[in-house]
A and B are shown apart, each in its own frame.
Chain A
Amino acid sequence: MQPLELSAIDLVTAIRQGDVPAVQVAEAFLDRIAKVDGVIHAFLHVDRTAALERAADIDARRKAGKPLGPLAGLPVAVKDALCTADQPTTCASKMLAGYRPPYDAEVVARLRAADAVIVGKTNMDEFAMGGSNENSAFGPVHNPWDVSRAPGGSSGGSAACVAADMAPVAIGSDTGGSIRQPAGLCGITGLKPTYGRVSRRGLVAFASSLDQIGPMTRSAADAALVMEAIAGHDPGDATSLANAVPPYASLLEQPLTGLRIGRVAEHFGPGLDPEVAHGVEEAFAAFKAAGATIHDVELPHAKYGIATYYLVAPCEASSNLARYDGAHYGHRAEPGRGHHSSGAPTGGFESPLVEMYCRSRAEGFGPEVKRRIMLGTYALSSGYYDAYYAKALRVRRLIRQDYLDAFREVDLIGGPVSPTPAFPLGEKTNDPLAMYLVDMYTVGTNLAGIGGISFPCGFTKGGLPIGFQLQGPALSEPLLLRAADRYQRLTDWHRRRPKLPA
Chain B
Amino acid sequence: MTTSSATAEPFITVIGLEVHVQLLTRTKLFCGCSTKFGSPPNTQVCPTCLGLPGSLPVMNRHAFDLAVRAALALDCTIAPFTKWDRKNYFYPDLPKGYQISQYDLPFSSDGCLEVVDSKGAFARKVGIIRVHLEEDAGKSMHDEAAGTGDSRIDLNRAGTPLCEIVSQPDLRSPQEARAWLNELKLLLVYLGVSDCNMQEGSLRVDANVNLHIPQPDGRIAKTPIVEIKNMNSFRSVERALTYEAARQWEEWQATKEEMGKKPKQTRGWDDPAGLTRPQRQKEESSDYRYFPEPDLVPVTVSEADVAAARAAMGEPPTVLRKALEATWKISAYDADVLVNQGRDLVGYFEDLATRVGEGKVASNWMQQDVLRTLNERGGTIADFPVRPEQVADIIARIAKGDFDTSRGREIFAEVLASGRAVDDVVAGMGIAAVSDDDLVALCRELLAANPKIVADVKGGKEQAAAGLIGQAKKKNPNANPGKVRQICLDLIKAMG
Interface residues of A (CB under 8 A from B): 82-83, 89, 91, 96, 99, 101-103, 105, 200-205, 207-209, 235-239, 315-316, 318-319, 321-323, 325, 327-329, 350, 353-354, 357, 377, 380-382, 385, 389
Contact = CB atoms under 8 A, between A and B. Distances in A.
A209 B287 CA distance: 23
Range of interface residues on chain B? 20 to 34
A327 B58 contact: no
Contacts, number: 100
A323 B289 contact: no
Contact of A316 (B47, B57, B286, B294): B294
A202 B286 CA distance: 32
Contact of B88 (A105, A319, A327, A329): A319
B54 A238 contact: no
B30 to A, nearest CB: 9
Interface of B: 47, 50-59, 86, 88, 90, 92, 95-98, 153, 283, 286-287, 289-291, 294-297
Contacts of A203: 54
A323 B96 contact: yes
A322 B98 contact: yes
A103 B297 CA distance: 24
Nearest to B98: A319
A237 B56 contact: yes
Given A319-B97, A382-B286, 4 more contacts: A101-B53, A207-B294, A323-B95, A325-B97
A319 B56 contact: no
B54 A205 contact: yes
Contacts of B96: 322-323
23 contacts: A96-B53, A101-B54, A102-B47, A200-B56, A201-B54, A203-B54, A204-B53, A207-B294, A236-B58, A238-B295, A239-B296, A315-B291, A318-B88, A322-B97, A323-B51, A325-B90, A325-B97, A327-B153, A328-B153, A380-B289, A380-B290, A381-B289, A382-B289
Contact of B52 (A329, A354, A381, A382): A329
Contact of B90 (A103, A238, A357, A389): A357
A319 B297 contact: no
A209 B53 CA distance: 16
A89 B53 contact: yes
Contacts of A327: 92, 95, 153
A82 B58 contact: no
Contacts of B98: 319, 322
A354 B283 contact: yes
Contacts of A201: 54-56
B54 A328 contact: no
Contacts of B287: 381-382
B296 A238 contact: yes
B97 A236 contact: no
Given A237-B56, A319-B86, A350-B283, A208 B295 contact: yes
B88 A322 contact: yes
Nearest to A234: B56
A202 B54 CA distance: 4
Contacts of A103: 47, 52
A385 B287 CA distance: 11
A328 B50 contact: yes
B291 A323 contact: no
Contacts of B86: 319
A237 B291 CA distance: 19
Contacts of A316: 291, 294
